[in-house]
Amino acid sequence: MADAASYHQLLLVEDSPSLATVYQEYLRAGPYQIRHAHCIADALKYANQAMPDGVLLDLRLPDGDGLSVLRELRGRDPDLPVVVMTAHGSVALAVEAMQAGASDFLVKPFAPERLTVTVANVMERAALRRQVAELAAVAPRQGFAGFIGAAPAMQAVYRILENAAASRATVFVTGESGTGKELAAEAVHSISPRKAGPFIAINCAAIPKDLIESEIFGHVRGAFTGAVADRVGAARAADGGTLFLDEICEMDLALQGKLLRFIQTGTFQPVGSGKTLQTDVRFVCATNRDPLEEVRAGRFREDLYYRLHVIPVPLPPLRDRGDDVLALAEAFLAKSAAEEGKRFQRFDAEARAMLMRHTWPGNVRELENAIRTAVVLHDGEVVTAGMLPATVRDGSAKPAPAPAPPPPEPEIVKPAPPPPAPRAAETTKRIRPLAETEREAIEEAVKLCGGNIAKAAAFLGISPSTLYRKQESWRRR
């Protein structure tokens, strides 16, 4: 039996004795010691005696609004995890509670599992925040598990990844395209107890909707047209290791339900098979969208969100990482020069300034591609500003000051100009549909890159998943 020090002290603020008893029973099996307060006055009295590790808070209380308790306790401890509960749920109330500092929001009635998972998640996140705070005084690291950079935002990422790796909890990586979400997943795997096991990555946006279930769960021969042999899916291939689901918010809603069951039970059925298989995987997922917004829009299951969103890892965009831009550029220069057999060793001052001015909408991926382009197309020991791609040069140029307005001239009444002559019909015939022009540009880029989709997408300034989707739509026409 665990000692008292290993339990989380929870304060349950609920005016209904019967509901309080039910919630305590839901949480009985967890590592919690629960103290029940039926009103605001009791809640504040208990908090004055000893601050809890976490709070379950009803918003409608007999002596006032529960949000006042939330604001008071979060004022004392800004990191205190508080789960708000109410039978009067609305988007506006949820927003107000989250703005006041709530860690999560539950609408009554809710299932036992929803409560236990939510409380476990917020307590684990609070523990990680405390560990990060304790390590804040440590000298900044210049890189970590494949990442390069010493920006403060990246120090927080390194600490979260390091602490999350030892756990079995699901890691949810968010960030703009090109910020390194797959690298974060690989980092979690490479320093975890599962590092000797397989790391299997699935891009949910790059695989056609009717094939992704087979990619994840596998299929048996004859399951569908073209299934000429049994196929081992990612779920089974990742047994004993890590399964990375990139662009998870692109997954079809029907498949999200099957994924939820897989996460809950560790069991699955290959497509076309009645046999249930068991596997042991650690889940890491990623998206460049706001997952909570996807839930509100009905495109992502709420129960799956709460299963996956246990340890969030937000990756900062490159424009917010300061001098990391130059550290990354120098690393990419050394790598590309070695691979291409070029002599480049450094950037000149103007090139360095240009790299720092650019906003890098494509983030680290855009930077790496820009450096490789310069190396491939030029040679020498020093990369100059003129060697950088036009997108970087043009995007980094400061706008010219607007010319001074001319002095006012005396008003002269002029005759109205004649109406413009109508265009010849032949002129409009030269206008081509935008979709046709776009397709030609994409197909030409893919051809010039030797069929390398990722490389072509980088030069075009779009994500590979977008390119794959467009190709798939063309094939279906």
pLDDT digits (tens, 9 = 90+) for 338-368: 999 999 999 999 999 999 999 999 999 999 9
Q: What's the pLDDT band for 228 if we cut at 50, 70, 90?
A: confident
- Average of pLDDT values for 397-418? 47
Map tokens 């390091």 to a residue. Answer: 162
Rounded Cα–Cα distance for residues 470 and 176 (Å): 20
Contact indicator for 187, 147 with CB cutoff of 8 Å: yes
Query: Which two structure tokens, joined as six digits, stand for 181?
Result: 């979400």
| Burial zone of 457 (CB within 10 Å; 0-12 exposed, 13-18 middle, 19+ buried) | buried
Q: Measured in whole angstroms, how far is the alpha carbon of residue 302 from the centre of its chain?
A: 16
Residue 462, pLDDT score: 73
- Average of pLDDT values for 43-49? 91
- Out of 133-142, 189-198, 206-215, 402-411, least confident range: 402-411
Map tokens 């039996």 to a residue. Answer: 1
Nearest to 213 by CA among 243, 233, 229: 233
What secondary structure, in 3-state letters, does 171-200 show? EEEECCCCCCHHHHHHHHHHCCCCCCCCEE
How many angstroms separate the Cα of 274 from the Cα of each of 6, 78, 209, 323? 43, 51, 22, 55
Residue 136, pLDDT score: 56
Residue 2, pLDDT score: 46
Cis amide prior to 109 (ω within 30 degrees): yes
Contact indicator for 181, 175 with CB cutoff of 8 Å: yes
Rounded Cα–Cα distance for residues 32 and 245 (Å): 32
> Which value, to the nearest 10 degrees, does the dihedral of the CA atoms of residues 147, 149, 151, 154 take?
0
Q: How does DSSP classify residue 461?
A: T
Give the range with max mean pLDDT: 53-62, 388-397, 460-469: 53-62
Beta-carbon neighbour count of residue 135 at 10 Å?
A: 14
Nearest to 52 by CA among 69, 29, 28: 69
Residue 399, pLDDT score: 43
Higher pLDDT: 87 or 348? It is 348
Rounded Cα–Cα distance for residues 298 and 192 (Å): 34
- Average of pLDDT values for 157-177? 91
pLDDT digits (tens, 9 = 90+) for 60-79: 888 888 888 988 898 888 88
Higher pLDDT: 95 or 114? It is 114
pLDDT at 80 over 50: yes
Q: What's the pLDDT band for 444 if we cut at 50, 70, 90?
A: confident
Beta-carbon neighbour count of residue 417 at 10 Å?
A: 6
- Average of pLDDT values for 319-326? 93
Q: What's the pLDDT band for 7 if we cut at 50, 70, 90?
A: confident
pLDDT at 139 over 50: yes
Residue 128, pLDDT score: 78
Mean pLDDT across the chain: 84
Q: What's the pLDDT band for 335 if we cut at 50, 70, 90?
A: very high
Contacts of 56 (CB under 8 A, 6+ apart): 10, 11, 12, 13, 14, 23, 83, 85, 119
pLDDT at 470 over 80: no
Contact indicator for 47, 11 with CB cutoff of 8 Å: yes
Residue 414, pLDDT score: 47
Which is it for the CA torsion 252, 258, 261, 262, positive or negative? Answer: negative
Q: How does DSSP classify residue 110?
A: -
Residue 107, pLDDT score: 83
Rounded Cα–Cα distance for residues 384 and 370 (Å): 13
Residue 52, pLDDT score: 92
> N- to C-terminal Cα distance for the chain?
64
Higher pLDDT: 399 or 239? It is 239
* Phi and psi angles of residue 286, each rounded to the nearest 5 degrees, phi first: -150, 155
